[in-house]
A and B are shown apart, each in its own frame.
Chain A
């Protein structure tokens, strides 16, 4: 249902004229090549499965269907073309890396350490400079233009492994700050938004505490709220649960799942395979700065193509 809801959102957002034409190669027993989707019954039913039954009448895997449907065309919010990044010292973090991420898609990036996962994520909002290639976020090129960079930073929220909350500010001030300074909201409005977000991540009662007075899980939830305060179109999660005690991972993942259900575009570097399996639309497996394999979570965990992927999965699962 979560996935369906999100796909419904993508579909309806992309349809101005109630008609959407998608190309679906080699799907289903009858190999439907071209599918016309009428959006109206979708709107009524709010349930893609029902629509699926109605129009296709056979039991194809709906996630697979839509992954394939949007794979090549569609509303790409992140377009990464041929980027490379070499760190001083000669370590190649990214080698001719290309990918496209659709609006509302949840992408999980996995891979052994040093494979360039985090670097890729950090390139997306300009925390790392790329050596070559291009990145486009929601149509804005990430280049040397300062205004472009600022725009992108506003649209892309990021959650770090070590939370990186501001220790000298209270929880409320942490969330408020960007709203006041960047979004130029009034104090009352900023507080209202912040309180809503804190309620959403479930720690409204900690509003006047300092980060050091919170547990790791709570801190990370504040960090998520802080990033959300900017109303970003994309959220990047850089190993958001890796620094947490095991009993706190769940509470952070819950918030992330909630976000995914609401249709947020998310790119997550994570070692939480459960999360990847449950929430992600697409899993990218990286090694040595390159993509080894891409696929839906289902495909990825049950029937990976590459030997390297199988080996990696056998090591971590």
Chain B
């Protein structure tokens, strides 16, 4: 008798557990909790929220059409720096990975020194070094300095991701390619990298997202990227929280878009198994 009642309640529980309503309830509860937490903290902060002021710093509609505000301009700079650095860091990363995997002692050493040097010092200092020390020597202005610093920094991490991906390809694949007479270049191009790329896309995406966020540091050498623009506007308006939240949201939109694009790529690359 007791046992049967027990089994009935278990069946009911499973039913509830499986229904979509259960998921929705959980989600709503979570949102309510966060909102409550947020409301409580602003109440205690005694902050005067002025969200209505924010949009004009992004863009506003005037008689002449859309006028882009400083935040939008900053976003475009961030976008440009990140995009160029991303491409360069992938090139640097792949090259370094191949150098490390080569049989040449010199190549391996160069790659190793670069990697350790970059990975074990802060990006901020690298940025300063390139802009203030190398910049005048090589004739680099702000923007190229920033791009160079970011690409070198992220390239080091990307190279480790590439290397891990390449090493993960089974030895038999190399041997098969070798026994068919494929050159090293063709083996990488046709056999190893196409398989490795499927495995390294997720960590590489994380790295790209890091790059976008790290690009905020270029504001320290007075490049008017998203972060720098926000700082400037805040200095004038004291809309500290509104603007920083907005900026965070804008970064989020950029990185989320990137994630979605990579997701689509991943699905297209998917291997038939």
Contacts and interface: CB of A to CB of B under 8 A. Distances in A.
Interface of A: 125-127, 150, 153-154, 156-158, 160, 162, 164-168, 177-178, 181-182, 210, 212-213, 223, 226-227, 230
9 contacts: A153-B178, A154-B181, A162-B172, A164-B176, A167-B271, A178-B182, A182-B181, A212-B272, A223-B176
B175 A210 contact: no
Interface string B107-129: 00000000000000000000000
Given A153-B180, A154-B181, A177-B190, A168 B175 contact: no
Contacts of B181: 150, 153-154, 178, 182, 230
B272 A166 contact: no
A150 B182 CA distance: 8
B23 interface: no
A182 B182 contact: yes
A177 B194 CA distance: 14
A177 B195 contact: no
B179 interface: yes
B216 to A, nearest CB: 37
Contacts of B183: 150, 181
Chain B, interface SS category: helix
A295 to B, nearest CB: 29
Contact of A182 (B170, B180, B271, B273): B180
A16 B256 CA distance: 74
B175 A127 contact: yes
A226 B272 CA distance: 20
B179 A177 contact: no
A212 B273 contact: yes
A8 to B, nearest CB: 30
Interface string B184-214: 0010001100110010000000000000000
A194 to B, nearest CB: 13
B53 interface: no
Contacts of A213: 272
Interface string B14-54: 00000000000000000000000000000000000000000
B194 A178 contact: no
A257 to B, nearest CB: 22
B141 to A, nearest CB: 43
B271 A160 contact: no
Given A212-B271, A227-B180, 17 more contacts: A127-B175, A150-B181, A153-B179, A157-B180, A158-B179, A160-B176, A164-B175, A164-B176, A178-B180, A178-B181, A182-B180, A182-B182, A182-B186, A210-B271, A210-B272, A226-B180, A230-B181
Contacts of B170: 164
Interface centre among A164, A177, A182, A227 (most CB of B within 10 A): A164
A149 to B, nearest CB: 9
Contacts of A127: 175, 178-179
B196 to A, nearest CB: 10
